[in-house]
Amino acid sequence: MTIGFIGLGNMGGGMAANLAKAGHVVRAFDPDAAALARAGTQGCEPVGSAQEAVAGADAVVTMLPNGAIVAQVLAESVIGHAPADALLLDCSTIDVATARSIAGQAAEAGHAMVDAPVSGGIAAANAGTLTFMVGGSNQAFARAQPILAAMGKAVIHAGAAGAGQAAKICNNMILGATMVATCEAFALADRLGLDLQTFYDIASKASGQSWSMTSYCPVPGVGPQSPADNGYQGGFATALMLKDLNLALAAAADAGATVPMGARAQELYTAFAEAGHGGVDFSAIIRTFEGA
C-alpha cells in the first residue's frame, strides 16, 4: 500500500518506520526538518507537505499533538487532497467529541475513518509493539486492522467512532491514579524502613500488584528496566500524562461521571508539571512523596 503519514514525533517516527519495514510505501511529512530527515533514513519517503504525503495514498495515518491540530490538518490537507476512497487513521490522543466530529466530516467526503490511539510509549512505537484502541465502523476497522498490526502487538475494536479515544483516556486515568498510589506506597515503605527491593518482591506477588509496579516501577534499581533507571528520561512524559488526565476529566464532566481518584491524580500531575517537571517521565512524580 501507499500510506501518507503525517506527524513524525517521538511516537510517529517509529510507527512510520515500522510501516515501511512491513513493505508499505510510506510518504512521510512533518514540519520539523530533523524528524523528516530521520524518517528518510528509516525507509520512508520524505515529502515537503501534508498534501503531498496524501496525494495518491491508499491510507493516511495522522499522529499529532491535539484535537485542534488534527481537525485542521484533516480539513486543510487531507480531505479533498487524498483519494476519495483513502482510509483515514488518526492515532493521536484527542477528545472524544473532536474524534466523532472529524469522523463525520470524513464520511461526508466519502472516507472511511478510524480513531486509533495507542498505548505503549516510545519504546513500543519503535519496536512495533503498541496496543491500538480503535473506534469506527466494522468495515473501517477491517480495513485498518492490517495497517495497525504492522505497528502493534494488539489491535482491539472498541466500538463506533470516538470509542478508541474513550478507551484510551479511561485507560490512562487508571494509569495515572495507580502510578500515584504506587509512588506514595514505595515512599511510605522507605520511611517505614523497608528495603524497597524486598517490598517489591512482596507487593508484586500480592494484592497491591499493578502494571505501574511490575512493568514500570518508579524506583531506580527495582523491578524491570524502566525510565527510573535512566534519571526518569524517556518513556511517557509528565506533560503527556497530564494531557490525558485533562481529557479524561473533561469527558467525565460532559458525561456527568464522578471520578475522584482521576481528579486527584490530575491535581497532583498539574502541580508536578507546574514545578518544572513536565518533560520527565510521569513516574518521576515519586519525588513529590520523597520530598525531593
Which residues have C-beta within 8 Å of that of residue 152, sequence separation ≥ 6?
Answer: 118, 120, 124, 128, 129, 130, 131, 132
Find out whether 186 and 176 touch, Cβ atoms under 8 Å.
no
The DSSP bridge partners found for residue 115 are: 90, 135
Instruction: Mark whether 19 and 149 lie in a shared domain.
Output: yes
Instruction: Mark whether 148 and 97 lie in a shared domain.
Output: yes
Mapped onto helix, strand or coil, the DSSP state of residue 278 is: coil
Instruction: Determine the pLDDT at residue 291.
Output: 73
Q: What H or E segment, with its residue span, contains residue 182?
A: helix 163-191
Distances in Å between the Cα of 262 and the Cα atoms of 6, 97, 171, 176, 243 are: 31, 20, 11, 7, 12
Instruction: Mark whether 197 and 245 lie in a shared domain.
Output: yes
243 has catalytic annotation: no
Q: How many domains does the chain have?
A: 2
Instruction: Mark whether 179 and 277 lie in a shared domain.
Output: yes
Instruction: Determine the pLDDT at residue 243.
Output: 96
pTM (2 decimals)? 0.92
Instruction: Mark whether 6 and 105 lie in a shared domain.
Output: yes
Instruction: Mark whether 131 and 37 lie in a shared domain.
Output: yes
Instruction: Determine the pLDDT at residue 292.
Output: 53
Instruction: Mark whether 185 and 84 lie in a shared domain.
Output: no
Instruction: Mark whether 190 and 263 lie in a shared domain.
Output: yes
Q: Which among 116, 145, 161 is the end of a domain?
A: 161
Instruction: Mark whether 153 and 170 lie in a shared domain.
Output: no
Name the nearest CA neighbour of 247 among 99, 94, 119: 94
Among 153, 168, 205, 243, the one annotated catalytic? 168
Instruction: Mark whether 192 and 246 lie in a shared domain.
Output: yes
Where do we find the cell 524528524?
Answer: 35
Report the alpha-carbon distance of residue 119 to residue 134 in Å, rounded: 11
Instruction: Determine the pLDDT at residue 123.
Output: 86
The CATH number that applies at residue 266 is 1.10.1040.10
Instruction: Mark whether 114 and 254 lie in a shared domain.
Output: no
The CATH number that applies at residue 42 is 3.40.50.720
Backbone angles phi, psi at 117, to 5 degrees: -65, 165
Instruction: Mark whether 90 and 157 lie in a shared domain.
Output: yes
Under DSSP, the state recorded for 174 is H
Find out whether 112 and 143 touch, Cβ atoms under 8 Å.
yes
Q: Which among 111, 135, 161 is the end of a domain?
A: 161
User: Which pLDDT tens digits describe the chain residue by residue (292 residues)?
Assistant: 999 999 999 999 999 999 999 999 999 999 999 999 999 999 999 999 999 999 999 999 999 999 999 999 999 999 999 999 999 999 999 999 999 999 999 999 999 999 999 998 888 999 999 999 999 999 999 999 999 999 999 999 999 999 999 999 999 999 999 999 999 999 999 999 999 999 999 999 999 999 999 999 999 999 999 999 999 998 899 999 999 999 999 999 999 999 999 999 999 999 999 999 999 999 999 999 997 5
Distances in Å between the Cα of 104 and the Cα atoms of 98, 144, 161, 237, 290 are: 10, 17, 9, 31, 48
Mapped onto helix, strand or coil, the DSSP state of residue 53 is: helix
| Residue-number span of the structural domain to which 70 is assigned | 2-161
Q: Which among 161, 183, 216 is the end of a domain?
A: 161
Report the alpha-carbon distance of residue 159 to residue 133 in Å, rounded: 9
Report the alpha-carbon distance of residue 4 to residue 208 in Å, rounded: 44
Name the nearest CA neighbour of 91 among 81, 79, 82, 99: 99
Under DSSP, the state recorded for 223 is S
Mapped onto helix, strand or coil, the DSSP state of residue 175 is: helix
